[in-house]
Amino acid sequence: MVRPVFSIVPEEKIQRRSDAAGAGLSVLTSLPPLSLYVHVPWCVRKCPYCDFNSHEAGGEIPEEQYLEALRADLEQALPSIWGRQVVSIFIGGGTPSLLSAAAVDQMLAMFRAYLNLWPQAEITMEANPGTVEAARFREYARSGINRFSLGIQSFDDAALRALGRIHDARQACAAIETAQNCVERVNLDIMFALPGQTMEECAADLRQAMSFQTEHLSLYHLTLEPNTVFAKFPPAVPDDDTSAAMQDQVAELAEQGGWERYEVSAYARKSGRCRHNLNYWEFGDYLGIGPGAHGKLSFHDRIIRQARLKNPKSWMEKAPLMNGSHLAEDRQVLPEELPFEFMLNALRLRQGVPSSSFTERTGLSLAAIMPCIDAAVDKGLLLADPARLQASPLGWRFLNDLLAEFLP
């Protein structure tokens, strides 16, 4: 095994950090929980709605080179997280289930060797139905994957074709059953407001998803993101009124079926909430490794944001150089940016967060944002509860308007 490499911080950087702390920037008395995000960038085919950092494989995935670069990426990050416990891992993409069972086993063994991984850590892998093989999924589970997130999107074959998916409804159902036979914890991603979709078809998709009784459902409104095929050639999607009605219908049916809507797009059965995503929404820390991965790390005197190079080839070439050239971004979050960043995550939660967590996670006094809080309460967007930061029903429905109150 390659020994961890520790970087030396130049004296001038230490001095700048000391000066910043002395200038009244945020100071954290304790560090938040830490998660790990791992990006696997390859997929079989790029979907026309997808704006994630995904690249068509066009042949065999360079697993050996990828794992070597992933190890180098992790080694260079270790000084920033040394000694901290990792509470969850999320392997996303792309399509991570394109990796061989042996590659996933090597990856998880690497994480156990390098990280202080909590024994009960949630370890999620994203998978698409067209890439699910029962034998490989059993091997994933034996290696330590204990939660699968399946990109089902729809059970309607016509809708799946319109979305550019490579699987059909039959494969979707088979993938769910395979995942449930391998692990207890399974999430289904389902989209609504699809091209040409009716209210009845939307309800049918959700009822089909609910019939599998998975512990978690992620129910998303299709959005036409910039720099996608759908943005350039927009399909005929339901109008705003119909889309809003679909969203209400989805929420009502899911909650009637026993899934609690605990976040804007997340629904869970008892004890089924996604711990990894909860850490994001509660403004916890996460180390992101792999091409295009983003991270947020807290220190006692600062909070930093990082991003890796998006191009897989460039990232795989530069990460092993061990000189930080694989980073596309590495910057300190300014104190005036922190209120919006915190609220952007916390107010997505239906129950919000305790008011005390604002100071705990940002190091800033709540008094610094009281004018913003008062304005949001006056507009009926935020509940007037001194003990919690929680959107009102109106604020949760018009979340962008609420979040705008906290823009720097």
Encode pLDDT of 288-340 as tens digits: 999 999 999 999 999 999 999 999 999 999 999 999 999 999 999 999 999 99
- Segment 220-251, tens digit of pLDDT: 999 999 999 999 999 999 999 999 999 999 99
Give the residue from 223, 255, 279 where a domain finishes. Answer: 279
Residue 112 binned pLDDT confidence (cut-offs 50, 70, 90): very high
Same domain, 143 and 225: yes
Same domain, 67 and 210: yes
Same domain, 81 and 229: yes
Question: DSSP string spanning 160-195?
Answer: HHHTT-S--HHHHHHHHHHHHHH-SEEEEEEEES-T
Same domain, 65 and 170: yes
Q: Are 123 and 153 within 8 A, CB to CB?
A: no
* pLDDT for residue 131: 82
Instruction: Decide if 375 is inside a domain.
Output: yes
CATH of the domain at 171: 3.20.20.70
The answer to whether residue 396 scores a pLDDT higher than 90 is: yes
Same domain, 357 and 267: no
The answer to whether residue 253 scores a pLDDT higher than 90 is: yes
Instruction: Decide if 400 is inside a domain.
Output: yes
- Residues 343-370 have a mean pLDDT of 96
Tokens standing for 297? 């790390």
**Cα–Cα distance for residue pair 67/315, rounded to 1 Å:** 12
Q: Count of domains in the chain? A: 2
Same domain, 213 and 131: yes
Residue with tokens 């130049």: 10
Residue with tokens 């509660």: 282
Sequence-ordered alpha helix ranges (H) in 57-163? 63-81, 101-114, 134-143, 157-162
Bridge partner residues of 93 (DSSP): 40
Instruction: Report the predicted TM-score, pTM, of the whole model to 2 decimal places.
Output: 0.92
Give the residue from 232, 252, 279 where a domain finishes. Answer: 279
Instruction: Tell me 368's DSSP state.
Output: G
Sequence-ordered alpha helix ranges (H) in 183-295? 199-210, 229-232, 240-256, 275-281
Same domain, 209 and 116: yes
Chain length of the chain: 408
Instruction: Decide if 242 is inside a domain.
Output: yes
Q: Which domain holds residue 388?
A: 351-408
**Cα–Cα distance for residue pair 123/108, rounded to 1 Å:** 9
Residue 130 binned pLDDT confidence (cut-offs 50, 70, 90): confident
Give the residue from 279, 312, 343 where a domain finishes. Answer: 279
The neighbour count for residue 137, using CB atoms within 10 Å, is 23
Same domain, 263 and 363: no
Same domain, 169 and 264: yes
Residue of 233, 205, 219 whose CA lies nearest to 49: 233
Same domain, 365 and 272: no
